Amino acid sequence: MKTLLRPTGFVDSPFGHDGKVARLAGGLNWFASVELIHDDGTRELVPVEGIEDQFDEAMAAAWARITAPRVPLNLGSRTIHLDQPQVMGIINATPDSFSDGGAYVDASAAAEAGATMAAAGAAIIDVGGESTRPGAKDVWEGDEITRILPVVQHLAAGGTAVSIDTRKSAVIEAALGAGAGLVNDVSALTHDDRSAEVVAAAGVPVILMHHQGDPQSMQDNPRYGDVLVEVYAWLDARIAAAEAAGIARANILVDPGIGFGKSVAHNLELLNGLALFHGLGCPIVVGASRKRMIGALSNEAPVDQRLAGSLALALKAAEQGVQLIRVHDVAETVQALKVWRGLRDQALTPRLS
């Protein structure tokens, strides 16, 4: 494993720090330090100033990916710019999702909720017809299509950018045909052998999410040596596999898979180290909304009382340059990010002498 670079030492403003700070992925975040994670497990903190003098070829390539602006996503007629954090709203058209199971079984209610999320500021609405919560059972693709198709059709017809949350190629084909423009695959195209082929042929963006195990078993004592390094390496390999299948790297997004085969400690370590994943050169997606780790850290707060924790994690993601934040509570998250953006805008406004 090559030396990995994790941006850290974030600063409010680059002004007056020429050569001492670098811009993260063309976004609103600047950093002054880098943690070098060596292949022997040792870690070294070095300043940005003069860092390129230490690079070998692989480190120089990673640095270029870390600092390069991310290409906007094209979802049909909609363009999603990734120079600031964007919100992805969650619509689970299922009876058994961990947070809102049963709330959107009716297609009209699901479509209306998605439209409300879009009006509240969600850049993308992510529609799923199969729960992948811990212990969830597989859903037949025909039932999954029946659940999601009218929702996707209604939202897309209204001009909303829609993604399809599925592991199955037949569902991907049906959703894309109905107007979806992005595939969100929690299996990173490993569940269905045809999925990569379908995505490549359609030329649409795809989210590759890390997982350990399947929904039935993923929370049965998950283990890692170094979760941050191992998730990075796994996603790097999945990006290579997607490219080999004909998917352009510019169409690949990555998700560290919070809660998918991870303990609370694993999740926290990943969230603390999110900036590492910019080294993959792909936009980063994080979905920590309402997840069990929030309850575990707050006296076992039930799912419907995890808004504050969800907002804390959304802001943690924004602070590390994450481009897409997948949430249930769109209006509240959009407001939190608007305040965060106001702080950033002020910091990035030159003072007049």
Are 235 and 210 in contact by the 8 Å Cβ rule? The answer is yes
d(CA 86, CA 166): 21
Least Cα distance to 287 among 64, 99, 114 occurs for 99
How would you class 308 by CB atoms within 10 Å of its CB: exposed for 0-12, middle for 13-18, buried for 19 or more?
Answer: exposed
> Hey, CA dihedral for 251, 256, 259, 260, is it positive or negative?
positive
Residues 43 and 1: their CA atoms lie apart, in Å, by 14
Q: For the residues of 76-104, what is the DSSP string, one character each?
A: TTEEE--SS-EEEEEEE-SS--TTTTTTT
Query: Is residue 62 helix, strand or coil?
Result: helix
- Helix spans in 203-329 (H): 227-244, 264-272, 292-296, 307-319
In 10 A of CB 246, how many CB atoms? 12
Question: β-pairing, 124-128 with 162-165?
Answer: parallel
DSSP state of 69: P
Which secondary-structure segment (H or E) carries 127? strand 124-128
- DSSP assigned state of 3: P
Residue type for 176, please?
Answer: L
Nearest partner of 59 among 113, 13, 4, 99, judged by Cα = 4
d(CA 37, CA 237): 18
Hey, which residues are catalytic here? 291, 326
